[in-house]
Amino acid sequence: MSEHTPTTMGIDISDRMSTVCVLAGDGEVMEESRFRSTRAGLGRYLEHRAPMRVVLEVGTHSPWMSRQIEELGHEVFVANPRQLRLIYQSDRKCDAVDAEALARLGRVDPKLLRPIRHRAADTQLARAQLRVRDMLVAARTRFILSVRGMAKSMGEVIPRASAESFHVGVPGAVSAPVWQVVEPLVEAVGGLTAKIKGCDAALEELSLTRYPETAALRQISGVGPITALAFVTTIEDPHRFARNRSVGAYLGLCPRRDQSGASDPSLRITKAGDPYLRRLLVGCAHYILGPFGPDSDLRRWGLAYAGRGTNSKKRAVVAVARKLAVLLLSLWKTGETYEPTRHAAAA
């Protein structure tokens, strides 16, 4: 067995120092050591070593570490944490023991780890830009709600306004004492709005230059540059799914199953996968089914679904989001021109 089993290294990653255990082909421990959890530290530790199988657990540092280890000529497996109860439920949990457990699991059969594949560095940067914008929008929403709540508690009501223009109308809508209290928050809202506009422009430019395939997705009314870019950077490879319908389950938009005999209850969706993209798709579904959504096969199907019974409107939104994800993947693969009412015209 040792002739065919490669040398295996398990790395337990920590913020400052990462712990290493190296196993020979026969399973004996060859080395136990540590290195600094930096690019320079990892490079110094691995650059002169013969190619080996390296196993590490998914975490904050695993994306850049896995890429650097591959560049140094080693085979990398990033273990799915759901498969590692042997480690996180151990009564003898420590960094050295965890590193050896990773190495032994990788030596026996890497498929036991259900290894994941991290995104490319440029894709990770694009997703970071999307997260920054999302955090800015969330902060602005929180500040606006706080200002409205403070004014209401003092007997004053701020007129309705869009988030983009909120900071413009507040000074003339409240009394001087209230304005002195909420002024810092309102100014912060104005600054956040300017930052969000800058993010929008940068993401639009990124979509046009780096991810031109998003243009095919934006043919659907209600799908803008943010949703299209989030979809492309989350999926990354449109051909990873043999069937387009599988993307719904990948994004957690399919219901759970707990069927046993004659019992097959209707359960909530799994909510697996990326929650940010799922939230964007649900928002698009609300627009498609809403009063301003243009006529389309997807809208007609969703409205018919919404009239089927109790709680069907909420289910219709999720169902439309799931079908929208399948449609986006199909347009990405084929690059076809989107026809909103193709099925209706054919009928």
Summarised one tens digit per residue, pLDDT across range 73-94 is: 999 999 887 666 655 556 567 8
pLDDT tens digits for 183-194?
Answer: 999 999 999 999
- Asked whether residue 1 is domain-assigned, the answer is no
Q: Which domain range does residue 254 map to? A: 217-346
Are residues 251 and 198 part of one domain? no
In sequence order, which residues have a C-beta less than 8 Å from that of residue 191 and are 6 or more positions away? none
Of the residues 187, 210, 233, the one at which a domain ends? 210
| pLDDT value of position 265 | 61
Do 188 and 256 reside in the same domain of the chain? no
- pLDDT at residue 263 in the model: 58
Question: Do 236 and 341 lie in a common domain?
Answer: yes
Q: Do 189 and 299 fall within a single domain?
A: no
Domain count, the chain: 3
Q: What is the pTM of this model?
A: 0.84
pLDDT at 116: 80
Residue 335 to residue 331: CA distance in whole angstroms: 5
Is residue 182 situated within a structural domain? yes
The CATH number linked to 49 is 3.30.420.40
Backbone angles phi and psi of 43, in degrees to 5 = -60, -45
CB 255 within 8 A of CB 269: yes
Q: Residue 123: pLDDT above 90?
A: yes
85 and 144 part of one domain: no
The mean pLDDT of 2-29, rounded to a whole number, is: 88
